[in-house]
Structure 1
Amino acid sequence: MASSVLVAQAVTIIYGVVVGIYALIVYLARKTAGMKTLLFGVSSFLYFLLSFIVSLFDSSQKAGLVMSVIGLSCFIILFTVLIIKLRSWRDIICGSLTLICWIIVIVVLLKVIILGDSGVGKTSLMNQYVNKKFSNQYKATIGADFLTKEVLVDDRLVTMQIWDTAGQERFQSLGVAFYRGADCCVLVFDVNVLKTFENLDSWRDEFLIQASPPDPDKFPFVVIGNKIDLDSRTVSPKRAEAWCQSKGGLEYFETSAKEATNVEQAFQTIARNALKREQEPDMIFPNEDTFKIPENEEIDAPPKKSGCC
């Protein structure tokens, strides 16, 4: 998906510049047939220029919504003009190319799943990153929830869909459908609670079993040690980094959702890893064995009951 999106962005901008210049020359020569071509080409280029400028100053959901509305408005206006004043096949081709490129670029989605024990701060990290907010009131996540945010990654504007999951045992088995299509998995623990760190192995194994990525050893995981603002640390940075190295050199960040320490940096790395995952050839043309399921494997089996209520 991401490779085709990158090509679409380049093609659309080049198309906008070339067709815009050509149409301007034709229009200045007083040949009115170039007017609609000028409209399509220049508007295409200006839309992406505006998207880039907006992303530099505001990468929040509001910015993404504004750009989506602008894009949709352009579709409606331009094609209304085209349908009402249809004069040549050149107009149809110019309009269709613009629309196709816009649609391909708009549908850019990176799915990120956050896993970890209950109370480690998964929801707080997500809210701090997306909404720049933190709440001291603890409210356990029921099942799963997600937020989206448009971010600029290596000069690419992409949409991150960040899934927050419940850490309680009765919600751990969310089913294959939930994990399918993930581009990056974030493992979170509380640096002040040793048990949450020790459970990272089970969370990682749970994800690999459910998601069944084509190459588990290369799937991007990012580990976050949260709540470094507290003074009761039980997991040292050295120990956490050693665990990450033992799993193939996973990237590790220590954060404070409360004070917004390293949250932005961690999610930038998460987005970059997710985008890299999307660009892998296996993601576009998966092997035949990728989606095979063993005959004796249970799908979406009911989770085992917890010993406590």
Structure 2
Amino acid sequence: MVDNCCAPGCTNRRGKKKGVSYYRIPKDAERREKWIAAIKRARSRLNKTERWDPPAVCFRLCSDHFISGQERFISMNRVYYKGALGCVVMFDVTSSASFLSCRHWKRDLDNKAMLPNGESIPCILLANKCDLPQRVVPPDSIDRFSKANGFITWMEISVKENKNVGEAMRRLVQDILSVESSLDSLQPKPQEIVNPQLDSLVDGGAGCC
């Protein structure tokens, strides 16, 4: 039997996309209710008003709807990105699952938010917990991933020790200001308004008798 993801708008099915896992609805009543409630909320955001109940068989969610392996259903909407000028995608260097989830977030951002000129908004990749010795994501992998997925740059940080956090935010702000400046230069300048009546007074002078 083919496994299809039951998440609203998701077309994933087993064998179609590599690296995707499928999870059955939990038998535990409390967890089961949370899963169903999350899916119904997602359906309502997509204006799906017809009644929906979980199918009796083969009710599964794919791993694209989980955050870093946590049982937390993702239901992103463009409204969350509205007006965004920059973005931070952060992962845990001690967790390969956390690192791999960054691809999903960057693609989601690029699909749902963009600059007025159609380009992606500036996004920086942050490798958190660099103070810990048990890292599993090497710097060269992060560097290749950052370049391949359109991040402006990547930096190692430690939120716990406040290492490089300020520097990372300054770098992102600099890119945002640079982008805004370039967009402003593309805006058409307001044309001068010519008033023929005033021009004739200036050219001919004004008299008094």
TM-score relative to the length of structure 2 = 0.50
Of 129, 135, 138, 1:236 maps to 138
1:185 equivalent to 2:81? Answer no
Work out the percentage of aligned pairs sharing the same amino acid: 28
**Deviations for 1:199-227, whole angstroms, at most 9, x for unmatched residues?**
11110011112214445655311100001
CA RMSD of aligned residues (A): 2.8
Aligned position for 1:247: 149
Q: Tell me the distance in 2 between the aligned counterparts of 1:216 and 1:240.
A: 26
282 and 202 in structure 1: CA distance in 2 versus 1, 3 angstrom threshold: farther
Aligned position for 1:170: 73
Of 235, 239, 260, 2:162 maps to 260
200 and 283 in structure 1: CA distance in 2 versus 1, 3 angstrom threshold: farther
**Deviations for 1:271-304, whole angstroms, at most 9, x for unmatched residues?**
1112122223279859xxxxxxxxxxxxxxxxxx
Letter in 1 for 2:73: R
**Contact 2:78/2:112 (<8 A) preserved:** yes
CA shift at 1:230, angstroms?
A: 1.4
249 and 187 in structure 1: CA distance in 2 versus 1, 3 angstrom threshold: closer
Q: Tell me the distance in 1 between the aligned counterparts of 2:117 and 2:102.
A: 20
Q: Is the partner of 1:252 in helix, strand or coil?
A: strand
Q: Is the partner of 1:234 in helix, strand or coil?
A: coil
Q: Tell me the distance in 1 between the aligned counterparts of 2:153 and 2:146.
A: 7
Q: Is the partner of 2:106 in helix, strand or coil?
A: helix
Unmatched runs of 5 consecutive residues or more in structure 2:
1-66, 189-209
Q: Tell me the distance in 1 between the aligned counterparts of 2:102 and 2:151.
A: 15
Q: How many residues align?
A: 120
Q: Is the partner of 2:103 in helix, strand or coil?
A: helix
Match runs of 1:95-174 below 5 Å: 169-173=72-76
- Write 1 or 2 for the structure with the bigger share of helix: 1
Relative contact order higher in (CA < 8 Å, ≥ 6 apart) = 1
**Deviations for 1:10-53, whole angstroms, at most 9, x for unmatched residues?**
xxxxxxxxxxxxxxxxxxxxxxxxxxxxxxxxxxxxxxxxxxxx
Letter in 1 for 2:101: N
Letter in 1 for 2:169: F
Letter in 2 for 1:271: V
Q: Is the partner of 1:269 in helix, strand or coil?
A: helix
182 and 260 in structure 1: CA distance in 2 versus 1, 3 angstrom threshold: same
Unmatched runs of 5 consecutive residues or more in structure 1:
1-166, 287-309
CA shift at 1:172, angstroms?
A: 4.3
Q: Is the partner of 1:228 in helix, strand or coil?
A: coil
TM-score relative to the length of structure 1 = 0.35
Q: Tell me the distance in 1 between the aligned counterparts of 2:171 and 2:180.
A: 14
Q: Tell me the distance in 1 between the aligned counterparts of 2:107 and 2:184.
A: 21
185 and 216 in structure 1: CA distance in 2 versus 1, 3 angstrom threshold: farther
